[in-house]
């Protein structure tokens, strides 16, 4: 279906060999380890998780920038990366990405207007110069840039304005899928709020399917229709932002939420997890979170919990999905 993103059992593993030792045994780093989710046409899915949880790798897999080790990504009924060359080029222009670092993504020697119009020259060579300029002006207006910014160079703009340029450059292609990888993380908090407003505006005016990645749950909550929480290359919980924020079910989501400063919450309520996330070269057996989980049970050390969904909410945790087998006391149908 047009605009539908479907991800099935997606993995991306890296083979690592000790540097300088040809005979050393290779190890496998599981950057993304079995993701399955859908994003409906026009929906925005937020992905949140700590550094190293596999968010950027997921972004690159979604757009076919890197091939998966196994599994598949299907967008609008077509398998990403698996269509013939010409069709793939057409598909690519419908799928755009916004990165964290706007300065790195812009050419310092080319004016803003030219840079926004550049993808049109490549993908729509028949467009007249006037038509191209009109599109660039319109899209600049959409992201809150004035027409005089078009003659400026990247270093003459602020960080927030540069990120608006990057958004405009993606939007000018009228994408059907927009993947945003930490698009506001490099900005000051006040500027972050302005750029998030731009995202809200463009969502209201354009109909694209979106994936918005951030390590900051607060940011994702403002922009996403649903939130997926990632830990060690896997999704541990999916739900609507309000649900995940106010009633997180997975112990890892609970710890993430407890770390977000909120009025009326004392520092004592914060859940401090023991240790760092395990190395994705040595993912623990059973539940990958069991080494840090404050509620760990024996089954968690042995059996890997599946992501089980009910009523639009999905959780991968024995304590939530099978409380009685996990040895958890059950009160009123809820895990106590
Ligand atoms: N090309 C690569 N070769 C080997 N390992 C990689 C490669 N790319 C990513 N990784 C590893 O895969 C894991 C996931 O990385 P990824 O960048 O996707 O995480 P992330 O959640 O986006 O983190 P961050 O927010 O810090 O970018 C990390 O352990 C990372 O070191």
CA of 182 to the centre of ligand 1 (A): 14
Is the CB–ligand 1 distance for residue 51 below 6 Å? yes
Is the CB–ligand 1 distance for residue 57 below 6 Å? yes
Q: Which of 272, 265, 268 is nearest to 251 (CA)?
A: 272
Residue 198 lies inside a defined structural domain of this protein: yes
Protein residue with least CA distance to atom 1, ligand 1: 14
**The tokens 């739900």 sit on which residue?**
239
Same-domain check for residues 31 and 52: yes
Q: Please report the pLDDT score of residue 120 as a whole number.
A: 93
Q: Which residues contact 200 (CB under 8 A, 6 or more apart)?
A: 222, 223
Same-domain check for residues 78 and 205: yes
Mean pLDDT of the chain: 89
Q: Which residue has the higher pLDDT, 282 or 178?
A: 178
| Boundary residue ending a domain (114, 145, 174) | 174
Is the CB–ligand 1 distance for residue 117 below 6 Å? no
Same-domain check for residues 89 and 195: yes
Residue 246 lies inside a defined structural domain of this protein: yes
Region 195-204 average pLDDT: 91
| Other CB atoms within 10 A of residue 202 CB | 20
Same-domain check for residues 191 and 142: no
| Boundary residue ending a domain (141, 174, 207) | 174
Same-domain check for residues 129 and 182: no
Overall domain count for the chain: 2
Residue 215 lies inside a defined structural domain of this protein: yes
Cβ(195)–Cβ(23) below 8 Å: no
Same-domain check for residues 50 and 186: yes
Q: Which residue has the higher pLDDT, 276 or 153?
A: 153
Is the CB–ligand 1 distance for residue 52 below 6 Å? yes
Is the CB–ligand 1 distance for residue 150 below 6 Å? no
Query: What does the block give as tokens for 22?
Result: 């040809």
| Boundary residue ending a domain (267, 292, 322) | 267
Domain enclosing residue 142, as ranges? 104-174
Same-domain check for residues 161 and 88: no
Q: How far apart are CA 149 and CA 235, in angstroms?
A: 41
Region 252-269 average pLDDT: 79
We report the CATH number of the domain holding residue 216 as: 3.40.50.300
Same-domain check for residues 179 and 263: yes
Same-domain check for residues 204 and 152: no
Same-domain check for residues 50 and 110: no
Residues 24-79 have pLDDT tens digits of 778 899 999 999 999 999 999 999 999 899 999 999 999 999 999 999 999 999 99
User: Is residue 165 predicted with pLDDT exceeding 70?
Assistant: yes
Residue 150 lies inside a defined structural domain of this protein: yes
């Amino acid at each position: 279906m047009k605009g539908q993103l479907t991800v099935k059992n997606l993995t991306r593993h890296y083979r690592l060999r000790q540097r300088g030792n040809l005979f050393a045994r290779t190890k496998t780093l599981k950057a993304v380890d079995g993701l399955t989710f859908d994003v409906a046409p026009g929906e925005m899915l937020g992905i949140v998780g700590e550094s190293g949880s596999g968010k950027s790798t997921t972004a690159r897999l979604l757009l076919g920038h890197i091939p998966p080790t196994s599994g598949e990504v299907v967008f609008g009924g077509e398998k990403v990366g698996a269509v013939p060359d010409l069709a793939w080029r057409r598909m690519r222009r419908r799928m755009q990405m916004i990165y964290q670092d706007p300065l790195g993504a812009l050419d310092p020697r080319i004016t803003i207007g030219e840079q926004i119009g550049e993808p049109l020259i490549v993908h729509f060579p028949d467009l007249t110069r006037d038509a191209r300029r009109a599109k660039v002006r319109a899209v600049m207006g959409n992201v809150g840039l004035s027409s005089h910014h078009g003659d400026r160079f990247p270093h003459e703009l602020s960080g927030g304005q540069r990120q608006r340029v990057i958004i405009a450059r993606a939007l000018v292609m009228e994408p059907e899928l927009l993947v945003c990888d930490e698009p506001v993380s490099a900005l000051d908090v006040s500027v972050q709020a302005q750029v998030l407003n731009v995202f809200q505006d463009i969502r209201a005016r354009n109909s694209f399917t979106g994936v918005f990645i951030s390590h900051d749950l607060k940011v994702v909550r403002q922009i996403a229709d649903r939130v997926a929480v990632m830990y060690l290359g896997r999704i541990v919980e999916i739900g609507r932002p309000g649900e995940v924020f106010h009633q997180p079910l997975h112990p890892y989501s609970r710890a993430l939420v407890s770390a977000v400063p909120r009025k009326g919450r004392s520092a004592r309520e914060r859940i401090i997890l023991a240790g760092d996330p395990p190395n994705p070269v040595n993912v623990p057996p059973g539940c990958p979170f069991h080494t840090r989980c404050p509620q760990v049970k024996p089954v968690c050390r042995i059996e890997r919990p599946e992501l089980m969904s009910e009523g639009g909410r999905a959780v991968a945790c024995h304590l939530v999905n099978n409380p009685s087998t996990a040895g958890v006391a059950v009160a009123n149908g809820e895990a106590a």
